[in-house]
């Protein structure tokens, strides 16, 4: 029995193993990142606004008091009231209903565009940065071609060639957004490919695909997530701009850019038609920019602890 109790004491007093220390370190790092992220009041404001918009988009069928495309000509151009919280447009459609359903279209554009651009840019930058040589030259010169054109003008040209629709707008914006992610990923890979853990993996016979997927990508992806937070707002703004000039979503689709475009003819007499969708665009873009700022600060490895 004394021998068994001794073994129990030894087991209890044994130092934690390396994988346990790694788990503790990761947990502590995650808590520190979250604490830094939520410490900034502007970041919390941005996250709150973005959460409200996401909830509104998901719950649009229950929040909207009427069909967003239902026309009631007898109620056309009614000012904000108890019956119509944000008034009605020139066809008698409820502006609040269209605004809520418009959140679905705008947030959908941001999610699809950022996801597509991040995936394509990451693949190009990862392959170019790791392979080097002629592969890197070809991929980066292709990236430079896209970066040589003003992004909005190029998006207009692509959307015009494909035809005006919300889907084609997503394709056009994603096509001009991926080069930024490719450049970011390549820069990260170039700084990581000669690190000890990559050399060790290569020495053990790991294939290039495994090294890129298991070792380089997880360690290089963080700055791209920060860029994606900023591009969410930029993509929504670009989609609204293309819809405003007729290259994006088409009436009667409830989309914020379309609503601003339709209301511009009545801006002097019925300003709420353009004011409310304009404020929705402004608040959404500002919210994601604040989130991007907070995420960049929280994930900054050079930031002194406690700031």
List, in sequence order, every residue forming a beta bridge with 94; answer none if it has no partner: 88
The listed CATH number (3.30.70.360, 1.10.3720.10, 3.40.50.720, 3.40.47.10) that belongs to domain 34-63+92-298: 1.10.3720.10
| pLDDT (0 to 100) of residue 27 | 43
| pLDDT (0 to 100) of residue 28 | 45
| pLDDT (0 to 100) of residue 172 | 93
CA distance 129 to 219: 14
Q: Closest Cα to residue 113, out of 251, 14, 227, 13?
A: 227
Max avg pLDDT among 64-73, 111-120, 214-223: 111-120
| pLDDT (0 to 100) of residue 5 | 47
CA distance 114 to 153: 19
| pLDDT (0 to 100) of residue 267 | 87
| pLDDT (0 to 100) of residue 19 | 40
| pLDDT (0 to 100) of residue 251 | 86
Q: Closest Cα to residue 175, out of 155, 160, 156?
A: 155
| pLDDT (0 to 100) of residue 281 | 94
Rounded to two decimals, the pTM is 0.82
Task: Check if the beta carbon of residue 78 is closer than 8 Å to that of residue 88.
Answer: yes
The 3-class SS string of 88-107 reads ECCCCCEHHHHHHHHHHHHH
14-37 per-position pLDDT tens digit = 455 434 433 333 444 556 566 666
| pLDDT (0 to 100) of residue 39 | 79
pLDDT > 70 fraction of the chain, expressed in percent and rounded: 85
45-103 per-position pLDDT tens digit = 999 999 999 999 999 999 999 999 888 888 898 889 888 889 899 999 999 999 999 99
| pLDDT (0 to 100) of residue 282 | 94
| pLDDT (0 to 100) of residue 34 | 64
Asked if the model's pLDDT at residue 7 lies above 90, the reply is no
| pLDDT (0 to 100) of residue 125 | 93
Mean pLDDT of the chain: 84
Asked if the model's pLDDT at residue 113 lies above 90, the reply is yes
Task: Check if the beta carbon of residue 56 is closer than 8 Å to that of residue 254.
Answer: no
Mean pLDDT value of segment 200-221:
85
| pLDDT (0 to 100) of residue 204 | 84
Domain spans of the chain, in order of start: 34-63+92-298
Distances from the Cα of 20 to the Cα of 140, 222, 258, angstroms: 42, 24, 55
Contacts of 130 (CB under 8 A, 6+ apart): 189, 193, 208, 211, 212, 216
Distances from the Cα of 102 to the Cα of 66, 106, 133, 289, 294, angstroms: 14, 6, 46, 20, 26
Mean pLDDT value of segment 170-183:
93
Distances from the Cα of 133 to the Cα of 27, 127, 129, angstroms: 39, 11, 9
Mean pLDDT value of segment 217-231:
89
């Amino acid at each position: 029995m004394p021998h068994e109790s001794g073994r129990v004491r030894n087991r209890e007093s044994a130092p934690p193993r390396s994988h346990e220390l790694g788990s503790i370190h990761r947990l502590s790092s995650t808590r520190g990142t979250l604490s830094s992220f939520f410490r900034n009041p502007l970041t919390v404001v941005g996250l709150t606004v973005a959460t409200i918009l996401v909830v509104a988009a998901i719950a649009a069928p229950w929040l909207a008091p009427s069909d967003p495309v239902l026309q009631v000509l007898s109620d056309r151009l009614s000012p904000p009231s108890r019956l119509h919280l944000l008034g009605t447009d020139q066809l008698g459609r409820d502006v609040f209903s269209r605004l809520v359903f418009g959140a679905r279209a705008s947030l959908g554009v941001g999610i699809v565009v950022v996801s597509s651009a991040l995936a394509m840019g990451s693949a190009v930058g990862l392959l170019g940065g790791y392979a080097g040589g002629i592969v890197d030259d070809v991929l980066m010169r292709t990236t430079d071609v896209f970066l040589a054109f003003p992004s909005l003008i190029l998006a207009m040209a692509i959307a015009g060639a494909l035809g005006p629709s919300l889907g084609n707008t997503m394709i056009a914006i994603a096509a001009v957004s991926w080069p930024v992610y490719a450049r970011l990923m390549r820069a990260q890979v170039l700084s990581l490919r000669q690190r000890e853990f990559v050399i060790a993996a290569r020495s053990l016979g790991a294939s290039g695909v495994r090294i890129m997927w298991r070792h380089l990508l997880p360690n290089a992806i963080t700055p791209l997530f920060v860029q994606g937070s900023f591009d969410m707002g930029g993509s929504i703004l670009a989609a609204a701009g293309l819809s405003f000039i007729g290259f994006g979503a088409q009436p009667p689709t409830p989309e914020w850019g379309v609503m601003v475009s339709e209301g511009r003819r009545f801006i002097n007499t019925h300003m709420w038609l353009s004011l409310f969708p304009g404020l929705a665009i402004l608040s959404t873009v500002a919210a994601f920019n604040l989130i991007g700022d907070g995420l960049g600060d929280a994930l900054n490895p050079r930031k002194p602890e406690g700031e």
